[in-house]
Amino acid sequence: MDLIEVTNVSKTFGKGAAAAKVLNNVSLNVAQGEFVSLMGASGSGKSTLLYLIGGLDRDLEGSIKVCGKDITKMKERDLSRLRLETTGFIFQFYNLVQNLSVEDNILLPELTKGRSRAELKKDLDEILEITGLSDKRKSMPNELSGGQQQRTAIARAVIASPQLILADEATGNLDSVSGTEIMNLFLRINREKNITILQVTHSEECAAYGTRTVRLANGQIM
């Protein structure tokens, strides 16, 4: 059983005459431990597919299974639990909570699950070390460079020990040096923590870090 099983998924935005089919009968499997890069032209539906897999958008045809569970048939509440437990998101625009410090942004998901700071201390130190943010732990997001912000977002995703990380153009906004750092980080996470990664990227270079590249065009996997 693969970690992600996307079967015959179609997605249409709008209705009637304005309807636009962005995904057409897409099927995609990602196995546990893979580092898959999803590429495609702008507007080809990469992000849409990623969000569908992440359960952030449930309006679709076909079925998507994550960890063997069909998320299209789950109740909203169960889905959000599954998402919070298994999936970490990384976005092009980082999406940090602006009025929390680096440390608090990273801890937020775990704290809301009811764990204490003391419990999390070891994990936090480790992830800060891995992401190279040890000396920025008390900084606020707006005091950080884009790369540092993205690393914070990665740390936030990783600290919850998800099985899966969904990254939408994580380096899209960064210079190449920072981009390389992020990719090395992904690689390390994928190898050391055995976290499956599905990343959307425009860059062949970045895609090369993955174990496999999937291409989307005209709403279908090539």
Nearest residue (CB) to other proteins, 70 versus 93: 93
Q: Are 1 and 29 in contact (CB under 8 A)?
A: no
CA-based max dimension of the chain? 56
Tell me which residue has tokens 């970490």.
88
Among 17, 42, 68, 76, binds other proteins (CB under 8 A): 76
> Closest CB to ligand ADP among 44 and 101?
44
Q: Which is nearer to ligand ADP, 132 or 172 (CB)?
A: 172
| Interacting residue with other proteins among 37, 44, 47, 72 (CB under 8 A) | 47
Q: Verify binding: residue 54, other proteins, rule CB under 8 A.
A: yes
81-100 residues in contact with other proteins (CB under 8 A) are 81, 83-84, 88-89, 91, 93, 95-98
Which CB atom, from 48 or from 148, has the smaller least distance to ligand ADP?
48
List interacting residues with Mg ion (CB under 5 A): 47
Q: Residue 215: in which H helix or E strand, if any?
A: strand 212-217
Give how far the C-alpha of residue 139 lies from the chain's centroid of Cα atoms, to the nearest Å: 24
Q: How far is CA 12 from CA 8, 20, 203, 216, in A?
A: 13, 5, 27, 16
Q: What is the dihedral of CA 168, 56, 66, 31, to 10 degrees?
A: -10
Name the token pair of 56. Answer: 């952030």
Tell me the two tokens of residue 102.
């680096």
> Which residues would be at the binding site for ligand ADP (CB under 6 A)?
13-14, 22, 40, 42-48
Name the site residues for other proteins (rule: CB under 8 A): 47-48, 51-52, 54, 56-57, 76-77, 80-81, 83-84, 88-89, 91, 93, 95-98, 108-113, 156-157, 168
